[in-house]
Amino acid sequence: MFDHAFSPISGRAAPAQHYLDAFWDAVGGRPDQLAHIAVGGSGALPAVFAVTDFAAAAVGAAGLAVAELLELATGSMPRVVVDRRLASFWFGSSLRPQGWTLPPLWDAVAGDYQAADGWIRLHTNAPHHREAALAVLGAAADRTAVARAVAGWRASDLEAAVVERDGCAAAMHTLRQWAEHPQGRAAAAEPLLHRSGGGRMALPRWRVRRERPLSGVRVLDLTRVLAGPVATRFLAGFGAQVLRIDPLGWEEPGIVPEVVLGKRCARLDLRNPAERGQLERLLAETDVLVHGYRPHALARLGLDAARRRELNPALIDVSLDAYGWSGPWSGRRGFDSLVQMSSGIADAGMRASGGERPVPLPNQALDHATGYLLAAAAIRGLTQRLASGEGGSARASLARTAKLLAECANPQDTAALAAESRDDLAEPLENTGWGPARRIQPPMSIAGTPMHWDYPAGALGSSAAEWL
């Protein structure tokens, strides 16, 4: 049963229902199971598309997957309740430092720039991406110098040049232009989630418990900003043992405290044969692998899909990329903010606001929604594994998630979300590796199955690369 947010509007499903139907169908859920979810609250984030409905639906699909797993284990499917307001907050940031501040989310050069014929976004948070963009532009790491250099380029030419140098950039398209673009067409033709079965072996060693249904499940996290870490954070919230592996020297200072909640974080140099062997040993004992490497990166390390399946026939192998798994950009580096530019979302925001520069979504909704979709796929994989011993794989992309979001405009008569208050913060204090913090209350509840995390957020590389 649903509240007003899911009621029919003008002869079609409200945005939240439309999105929930799409997410649940993508992971292979049964339509009748949707009767076990409700969404409470009112209001919406200001955006050209229905971002709050999108957030509520994505969180709800992941919660429904947990409920289905509990049904298999206990014989009854509990009710899932999503708070659309809290879900909206979690799509931004859940962490509230107490007495300290997070580093800036964006590098000083990153942002939108006016080219000779339109807008382009440079993503320069990683040092090697910043160096690539500055080398192409012949500019110093100064916004004024970069803006002056960008103005002399056509947006599409600069995008191609930065990408050719292994950097990250995206020229702004309209929705129509993206629909006609070869990569836009390719991404639109893909399913929201690619799913396939895997090998078979003995039933899992873990047992589903009502209070912590994922306790004993081992999740190997080979992801970075932002969708993959969101997925594994959700799994940790229901008891999964999540081990995140990063290369030596890699840092994400503005985002790590947000996304490593509940995880142990280790480092391995996968160019070193001994440490790559350690990853293989971990992988052989893994229940769920979540990875966000570009499609051929693991293959170059000798860990392509066939090798992963050989090491672990019942592995649940979950992955994502930016622009889709087919088409001319299928291997291109990308991030949420870039896909918003490429896919027409930022242009649609600009047009709706009457402004003259790109207007992105109020948060990185593509990343977050894809993360919860991946979490739902992983949990449904665990349900299948529990039922039959069979593994499987699932693949999603930010570009395909963007197509789903753009199918529903934000209802014009929706009030703004109520402002955050102290009552929205969970107890107790979280002693992170950077200082004390509070978290926003979980955005979803399941009766008898609280969502909570066993570890506070800690620094990358603070744990050993081994299962407990």
Q: What is the residue-level pLDDT of the chain in tens, covering all 468 positions?
A: 344 344 332 333 589 999 999 999 999 999 999 999 999 998 999 999 999 999 999 999 999 999 999 999 999 999 999 999 999 999 999 999 999 999 999 999 999 999 999 999 999 999 999 999 999 999 999 999 999 999 999 999 999 999 999 999 999 999 999 999 999 999 999 999 999 987 777 688 899 999 999 999 999 999 998 999 999 999 999 999 999 999 999 999 999 999 999 999 999 999 999 999 999 999 999 999 999 988 788 999 999 999 999 999 999 999 999 999 999 999 899 999 999 999 999 999 999 999 999 999 999 999 999 999 999 999 999 999 999 999 999 999 999 999 999 999 998 777 999 999 999 999 999 999 999 999 999 999 999 999 999 999 999 999 999 999
- Cβ 186 vs Cβ 328: under 8 Å: yes
**Residues 335 and 194: beta-carbon distance below 8 Å:** no
Q: CA–CA separation, 451 vs 428, rounded Å?
A: 14
Q: What are phi and psi of 396, to 5 degrees?
A: -130, 170
pTM here?
A: 0.96
Q: Domains in the chain and their CATH numbers?
A: 4-102+188-324+363-446 (3.40.50.10540)
Q: Dihedral sign for Cα 397, 319, 107, 364, please.
A: positive
Burial label, 179 (beta-carbon count in 10 A; 0-12, 13-18, 19+): middle
Q: How much is the pLDDT for 5? A: 41
Helix (H) and strand (E) counts for the chain?
Answer: 17, 16
Q: What is the largest CA-CA distance in the chain?
A: 65
The per-residue pLDDT for 341 is 98
pLDDT at site 268: 97
CB of 37 closer than 8 Å to CB of 56: no
In contact, 37 and 72? CB cutoff 8 Å: no
Predicted confidence at residue 411, as pLDDT, reads: 86
Do the strands 80-83 and 37-40 form a parallel or antiparallel pair, or are they unpaired?
parallel
Sort residue 456 into left (φ over 0), alpha (ψ -120 to 50) or beta: beta
Three-state SS at 166:
coil
CA 191 – CA 180 distance, rounded (Å): 18
Query: Token digits for 354?
Result: 């009457």
At residue 13, the pLDDT reads: 58
**158: phi > 0 → left, psi -120 to 50 → alpha, else beta; which?**
alpha
Instruction: State residue 225's pLDDT score.
Output: 87
pLDDT value at position 37?
A: 97
pLDDT of residue 6: 41
